[in-house]
Amino acid sequence: MKLKRHKIYIQSGAGKLKLILLRPESQQSNLPGILWFHGGGYLTGMADMLYLSAGKVLAEKFGAVLVSPGYRLSWQAPYPAAVEDCYAALEYIYTHAEELMIQKDKIIVGGESAGGGLAAAVCMMARDKGKIPVAFQLPLYPMLDCYDTPSSANNHGYFWNTTKNHQAWKLYLGSLYGTSPIPKYASPSRETDYAGLPSAYTFVCKGEPFYDETLTFIKNLRDAGVPASLDIYSGKVHAFDMMQPWTSKAQLARKRLCAIMAPVLSVPSADDNQN
C-alpha cells in the first residue's frame, strides 16, 4: 500500500515538535494509528528513520496512519525531554484523532532500540495518567535498563555494545546518572507495577546487549497478567531487521511481526461487517 508523507508541528516542552505522518494515499476513513519512535541510543537518529522501520512495514501492510516525532536528543536536552516530547505526540494524535483520521481506540505505540525504551515509558505514562488508552505496544529490542545486565555487560555485539551503552545512558540521564533511584520513565526497567499496561510483542537477538532486559520486561508483563510475547533470534546483531534487512532472519522477523499484529491492525471489510 502506497503511503503519502505529511509534516506538521505541534507544541511540546521545547516549543515546536516536528511530526512526520505517512498515510495511505487512498485513505477515506479513520484507520489505526501507529506512533513510532526512532532509535539511536537517545542521542542520535531522526524522525525520517521511520522509512526503515518496522512501523512503516505495518502501515503499508495493513493500511494505518504512521506518526514519527522528531523528539529532542540527549545532547540537546537530557531526560525527561525525549519522553515528554513522545508523550506530547501521543496526546496530540489522540486529541486530534478525527482530524488526523485515526481510530482513537486503535493507537499502537512502538519503536526500535531507544525508541522501544521510549515506547515502554510512554505506555507507562499513559497508564498512570489514565487519559489515553493505548491499544498495543511494540518495544522492539528495547533499551530499557540503565544498569548493566548479564547481556549488556562486557558485550561486543555488532552496532551496539557495552561502551556505547554506558556513554548513551550517561548522556541521556545527565545529572541522574549514577544516582538512585532512577525514575521509571527514564529507565523503564525500574518499573515495579506492570498491571494495566497494554499488551505487547517484541523480538530480539540472543547475543545483543538488550537481550536480558527484553526478556525481563516481557516476563514482568506476563507476571502482571498482561498478554505479552516475544521471538528470539540467534546472533549478535542489534537492530538486525534494520541493519541487515536483506537477511532471511530479518525478513522472518518482520513477517512474524505482521502475523502477530494482524488481529490488532486489520480493518474489517464491508463484507466482514455483513457477516
pLDDT in the model for residue 14: 72
Does the residue 273 lie in any domain? no
Backbone angle region of 271, left / alpha / beta, with phi > 0 → left and psi within -120 to 50 → alpha: alpha
- Is residue 172 in some structural domain? yes
Q: Provide the pLDDT for residue 21.
A: 97
Task: Answer whether residue 7 shows pLDDT above 80.
Answer: yes
275 lies in a domain?
A: no
In sequence order, what are the beta bridge partners of 7?
20
pLDDT per residue as tens digits for the range 189-245: 999 999 999 999 999 999 999 999 999 999 999 999 999 999 999 999 999 999 999
Q: What is the pTM of this model?
A: 0.95
Q: Is residue 128 part of a domain?
A: yes
- The CATH number assigned to the domain holding 69 equals 3.40.50.1820
Q: Does residue 122 sit within a domain?
A: yes
Q: Is 142 exposed, middle or buried (0-12, 13-18, 19+ CB in 10 A)?
A: buried
Average pLDDT over residues 37-53: 97
Count of domains for the chain: 1
Neighbours of 16 (CB within 10 A): 10
* Set of cell numbers at residue 18: 516536528
Which pLDDT score, from 0 to 100, does residue 257 have? 98
Q: Is residue 274 part of a domain?
A: no
Q: Which domain holds residue 260?
A: 3-267
For residue 195, give every residue at least 6 positions away whose Cβ sits within 8 Å of its Cβ, in sequence order, or none.
224, 225, 226
**Amino acid residing at 59:** A
Q: What is the mean pLDDT of the chain?
A: 95
Number of H helices, E strands in the chain: 9, 8
Is residue 143 assigned to a domain? Answer: yes
Q: Looking at the domain assignment, is residue 48 inside a domain?
A: yes
